[in-house]
Structures are given as structure tokens and as C-alpha cells.
Structure 1
């Protein structure tokens, strides 16, 4: 061996070859040949010992005799290939058998090649060199594959995170734009309505005083003028003065109640769409719920072939909560509007299944508020058709909706979840099962 070849062997890690053969002569020859070629050589004389050696000290390649006592080469190969930690080590059979069926059997068990006895040293070294190179290439390919999979996974994770951030940004923009647009709309409507309502309300006060004075005067006239003449009596009878005397004060009171109701509605709209600004405010949660119910009142009333939706309130005494009231009102609106949608869908389905008479006669929404040591809790529940577990798992995802196309954006609940969890540090849960209704549980720290 020349000095340059010796230096090359010193500079590289020796590849290990395990020879399993029951012939001492073959082991000695192969040990000398492979050792001279620069390989580290391990030897075993039976299959069981060979398997134990492979599991304890995995070689780079195995030379395996076929004909051995107890466990032959085929069984040894089968066991090594069945073990995930050893199946990737290339196995070359050494055999005196020349039948094609035996070779096919060995290759089918996982061997990579055959060397026929008596063997030529050059052939042995050439085949070993070839399969070690192939093993190196396969190992390098596996390594590159793993690195590529890691890079793909990392890139996929980055893209997924970017997509989620984009969705959250879209939600925030939609939410901000929605509240801003509503606030502008309500401010404009309130300005247009408040002036005439204020004018009417103020004048109703004076009109009521004038009417009371006139009625007093009429009563005095009737008392002190016993014979007003036939023309006056005919007019009194035609206009039914007694009825007017009783009904006109009631009419004025009703008009006053109407203007007060309009003022209340406008105040509810302003409360609902109030601008939050950058800082949280101390507010009464119940005011926001009531403002939302006022706005949705028209959807709760009875319609032909559809009963009214009953709202049951179970309010506890709550402290004022530090929050963004406009955002919380948006959550109440989303949850209550969804509950109404579900109840309407349930009633339509029941009417379809029971064409003569709907069995769904008591649609109900229950709103309960309570408090624990650290949180204000709001529960909004309906007795609609409920949801499956698979739907519940997706309900807060952006753009997920169970409504028909064109009737829902899939943003309401995802925006609500973001408002409660991220903006208020609280929790929003959905509890439901098919046929048992749905309850949304809001928890907000105070």
C-alpha cells in the first residue's frame, strides 16, 4: 500500500462491513481482502450472533452467507429487514447456490445483490464499493429530503401565520369600519330626528296646557249657560263633546309617550354605536344589552304564521365594567341577531315538517348576567335546533358560516371572539348540541 493511499485512509472514517458466514476459511479470506481495501471488518459465524451485532453496532454493509445452521441467511435477512432500525443496511448474499429461484427469493426479502462462491476478490470489492456508494447517495438524499421537509414546514408555518395575521387585520378593518359607519349613520339620523322631536315634545307641553284650559272653559260655559240655543246643542251632539272631554287628555298623553319612546330609541342607538376611542370606559353592561334589544325589537315581534320571540331576562346586580362599550354592543348584536336567525330557521323547518300546524310554538331567548370573584358573566341562550360538535369547533373561525350563500359573511362570531378574548382579555364559549339549543357564554374581567 503506497503512502498516499494510507494517508487517504487515515483522513476518512473507515466504513464498516459485517461478514456473517459459518466457514472460518471464508471469514479469514474476506477479513484480509476487505481489511487491505481499507474497510473495518466485523465477523460472526451464525445468524443470531449477526443480528445481535447489527443491533448493537450497525455496520455500513452486510455480507451474508445463505447456508448456515439454525438460522439460515434468508431468515436472518428477513429479521433484519423487519426491524426499522436495521432495514436500511444493504445486504449482499454470498452463496454457492446458482438457481434463479433462490436469487429471486433473496432479493424479494430485501437483499441488494448476490456474490456467488467461489468468489473473485475484485468482484467482491467492486460490488461492495458500488453498494456503499449507493447507500451514501440514499443517505444524502434522505438528509436532503428531511431538510427540505423542514424548510417546507417552516415556510408553511410562516405562510399560515401571515394568513392568520391578514385575516385578523381584515376582521379588525371590517369591525372598525362597521362601527365607524354605524356611528356616522346614527349621528346623522339623530341630528335629523332630534330637532323635530324636540320641537314636537316642547310644543306638546304647551298644547296640553292650552287644551286643559279650553276644556275648563267649555265646562264652565256648560255650567253657567243652561240654554245655549239649538245650533250649539246640535254641534255639541255632532262632535260628541263628552267623548272629546274624556279622550283628548288621553290622546295628548299618548302623543307625549310616543315622543318619549322616539327619544329613547335614539338614545339607544347612540349608546349602541358610541365611539370607544383608545381608552376603556366604565359602563353598565345592562345598558348595552337593552340598547341592542331595542334595535332588534322589530325582529322579536310576532308575524303572520310566526309567534313572537320571547326574551327572558335574568339580570343580577353588576358593577360597572371597564371595557370598550361600542365593541361589546357589537358582540351583543351579533349573538342576539344569530339567535333570532336560528329561531326563525327552526320555525320554518318545523312548519315544513308539520304543514298543518307548527310544533315550534314557544321560541325563546334567555339573557342572564351574573358575577364571580373576578369576572362578569353574560349568557345568551336560545331554544333553537342546536349545533353539532364539528360546527362548534369551527364556529369562531373567520369566514365560517352555516347560513346559505349570500345570507352570512362568517365574520360576526369571529369578530366577537376577537373582541372578547383579545381586546378585553376575556373568554367566549359556545355550548350546544343538536336539538338542545345553543348558549354563548361571555366572561369579562372587571
Structure 2
């Protein structure tokens, strides 16, 4: 236990001298006050100076305010109420002893006292005070560690995690600077990632020479290392402090160092007592760093997967249009021929003006028709913006039927359409839903090899708050084994199919929060049903 400071408050010079001699033999530092007011003054001055008194020997009988009044004031003072008080009273003064203990005195000693008894009682209250101080410090450390763990665990952003750790450590460790050095795998260097101190902003991003001094030892031996009174180090140069103390705590993951928690202090200010706290923080930071890195890798993978899915959707969209190329070309060629014929007839010199205007009107009408085809194609080709919009499901169905209209005619398929009016919109992407419906229609066309019927309808299911689009053909239907694998990637029953159309359609509807299912009996056609929630839940 370090040398303790004892304040004697007594007006008897003989008692003061005796106590001083007894305490001096045990190397206590002794302060003296001859009255209570002076005693309180010295207690407060010592507290403000940062050298608090460790215990008070307080006589009950004092001039002016007696020992009980001084004890009351001392215990009422928030800065002094933890200072232990040993009450000095006379023989047989049982009432004084009881009253003193009730007011908060930690113990008492009776005059005339034995030197051994005085030292034993004083040592006991000092031991209790020391234990209480250690407990308070541990409680403060645990509270701070809990706060650090809470803040570190609350984020997966690496910089936020490291900043939270150092801000918490500032309340636990007195240091000129705190820093976290991490290994940069891309650069192959140890870099100051985060720091707290006068040079914090300037230090971040700098390469730390961990091959020198105690840093290399901490990394090599996987343990904390304290180096005292260091001159001419990297930290001395950047902080303009020399000599200084350095404390390195390795950040470990899977038994390998991934970084260093670095504490820099003026010479003589750091010691090994703070190591347990620093090592607990380092352990929490190591886990948080690993979690943040894994989250970063997962985010990057998810973004790459999203890009791949978007590219796959776009590629399949092109493939769907490719299957309709001939019929779309025919769809465009017909109005072009009508425009050409109308313009040729309109330029005849002997044509009446009314007839000329009629032919020009036909040309304008066909040009508008052409513009509608081109606009619909451009809308379909355009990749999704990534922002869900209000979608008219009937329009998505109509666009899909418009793309496939000529192919339906060429395949001798009778189309029956029943679109429910005034449907509420859904949240999603128009061209993606059009792509799904177009895939379903193309599959129906290819199933109806010798012609047939295709029924298309939409409806609103009020009870489930869902919009439904159904496509039913009277083709050969699907075998149960085919139906089970229909939405799996690369599954196809066609010699030239990719097996991606319905798999991608399934993914699109799933991302819209909906479902796509098929009902079929061999020889009795197939029905594809798409259900979409009116309000899309964001993931």
C-alpha cells in the first residue's frame, strides 16, 4: 500500500506530538489541524490539489465546533464523504462512541490509547478505504467497458467501431494519444486507422513502422508490451514528445495479429495496471473488426450478385424479344407499308383534296402506331432504375400482349382478354413485370403448336390486398415431373431453350413480394397465376 496521508484534528499539543511519533515510525505523512474549521479547510485544499487525505483522526472535544459537527459537515460533503474517520474519545464515553458511529465515523479509539492499537485500527480503516477505492475503480471500468462493448457491437461500420472504442478508452486511460493500427492486406502495410489525441486527424492513414521496438515484440509474441522512457521513436517524432511511454496491445483473430491498440503517454505515466482493461477492450475490438470486415465482404458480394442478377434479367429480356424478332419485324413492316402507300397516293396530281387529306390521315395514324411500338420496345429494353414505382398491372399485361400479338396471329391462337378495370397500382418495375408476362405468353405460344386458345385476365383480391394476373391455355399441359422443376434454372423441355426464362421470372416476382405458380393436368392445358401484393415490403 503506498504512503498514506493522515490528518490529525486535535487541540492537545501532547496528543499531536505522540500521534506524530507513532505514525512517523510507519512512514505515514502527517497533517495537523488544531480545530475543526482548519481541519475541513485542509481536507478541501488537499482534495483540490490532487493529493487527498487518506484518513482523519478526529478528537471529539475541540474548541469551537466539536468533533460531531465537523463529522456531520465532512460526511455531507460529496467530495469528502468517502474519507474514513477514526474518532478519538475519552474512557467511558460510550454515548460519544455510539453517536460518532451513527454520524458516519468508521471506527473509534479511546484515550489514553496504545500505539499498537492505534496503528492496527488505522491500518484497518485504510485497508477498507483502499478496497472501496479499488471496487469503485473496477465498477467504473466495468461500466466503461460495457459502454464500449455496447457501442462497438451496435455498428458494423469499421470506422465507427474503432472511434467508439477509443472514445471509451479516453475515459479509462490517461494518455497523450490512443491509436489503432491495422494491417492493410492490399498495401501490405500496417496503417494508423483511427487515433485520438492532438495529432489524430494527421496520424490517420500514416504507415506505422511496427518492425521497430516493442511493437514488433507485441506482434511477434502475441502479448501486450510496455516500453518506458523511449526516445527517437516514430511516436516521438509525430507527437513531439520525448521521452515517452509506449504500450502495445495486439488485436488477435484466429490466433493471428490483425492490429495493435497503441497507447502513448509522457514518460512515467503508463504502467502495467491498465493492461487488463486495455486487453478486454482489444478483445472486443478484434471481434468487431472481424465482423465489420465480414460485413464489408458480404455487402460487396451482395452488390456484385445484384449486378449479376440485373445483367441476367436484361440478357433474358433480350432473349425473349429475340424469340419474337420475326413477328415484331412484321408488326413494324405493316404500318411502314401503309405509310408508304398512303404517301404515294396522296401525291397523285389529280387527286381530290378530300382524298389527299384522308390518305395523309391514314399515314399519320400508322406513324403514331409505329411510334407506340418503338416506345413500348424502348421502355421494355431499358434496365430497371432500381427505384420501385407505381405500376399499372393491366398496362404490363397489355405491353406483353402487344409484343406477342403478331406471333399469336401467326400461330393461329385465339386470344381472350378480360382485364379488370380500375385496378389499384402495385409497387415495382413495369418492364420487369412485362418481361414475366411476356415469358408466360411465349411459353403458351410454343406449347400451342397447332393453334388453340389463350385466356388472359387480371383481378383484385380485396381480402388479401393482392393483384392477380392469370394466363390459361388449352395446350397439352405439363407432366407432374416437369411441373416440379419448371422454375429451376437451366431446366427446359425445348431443344433450343436456355431454361432461364421462368427461373428469372420466378425471381422477379419473388423480389416484388409476390408468387408465381402453375396449375396443369396433362392433356388439359396449363394456367400460370401471378399474385402481387399491392404494397411491396422493402427488405
Higher strand fraction (1 or 2): 2
- Range of TM-score over shorter length: 0.3 to 0.5
Higher helix fraction (1 or 2): 1
Q: Which has the higher contact order (CA 8 A, sep 6+)?
A: 1
Output the TM-score relative to the length of structure 2. Answer: 0.40
